[in-house]
Amino acid sequence: MIEILTNRLMIIPCSLDIAKSLVFHRKELDKQSPIEFPICWPSAFVKGFLPLYIENLESKEKKNDCGLWLIILYEEKRIIGDILMQGKPSKEGMVELCYHVDEKQVDETIAFEAVDAFIDWLTYQKFVTKVVMECEVAQERSIRLFEKLGMLCTEKEGRFLMWEIQKKDFE
């Protein structure tokens, strides 16, 4: 299994078993898992995505090649958020990500550490040359995070901002 490790975090892909347990057997998962799954996790966005994710993992063809990754606060053995890779990288090497962290339980440096490590891993393992992320104008924490990552705001559509960082920016 792939593990992305930082000083405080372990970022791992969400397995089919965990995804199914989240949907169908949450109480059992909470009882038996050595990792704590907070009540507030997953987010509504990820809950809505899980059936498609399960279907994709069960499919032999892996149509979307999307990925749900769990962000685990290593010492506490507690999930604090997730990163969602929305499809496989395009032919040009572009991938869209979104992230969710429990802002009530962790500070902004944790989100930076997680997203930075994941983008670093992506650029070396998946031949990604551009990462795109989106947020709303009112999401000040996300805007600060994207700026700290060195991302540029490339588009504003209504209340949404599109951010990107390219491979040359990583070096």
Q: What is the CATH number of the domain that holds 110?
A: 3.40.630.30
Is the pLDDT at 23 greater than 80, yes or no?
Answer: yes
What angle do helix axes 108-125 and 140-149 make, rounded to 10 degrees? 50
Q: What is the pLDDT of residues 123-158, one digit of tens each?
A: 887 678 999 999 999 999 999 999 999 999 999 999
The residue with greater pLDDT, 170 or 69, is 69
Domain tally for the chain?
A: 1
pLDDT at 12: 95
pTM score, whole prediction: 0.90
The answer on pLDDT for 169 being more than 60 is: no
Percentage, residues of the chain above pLDDT 70: 93
Half-sphere exposure of residue 13, counting CA atoms within 13 Å on the CB side? 14
pLDDT in tens, 36-63: 998 888 988 899 989 989 998 888 666 5
Residue 88 is predicted with a pLDDT of 83
The boundaries of the domain holding residue 62 are 4-170
Q: Could you report the per-residue pLDDT of 66-116, keeping only the tens digit for each? A: 689 999 999 999 999 999 998 888 888 999 999 999 877 778 899 999 999
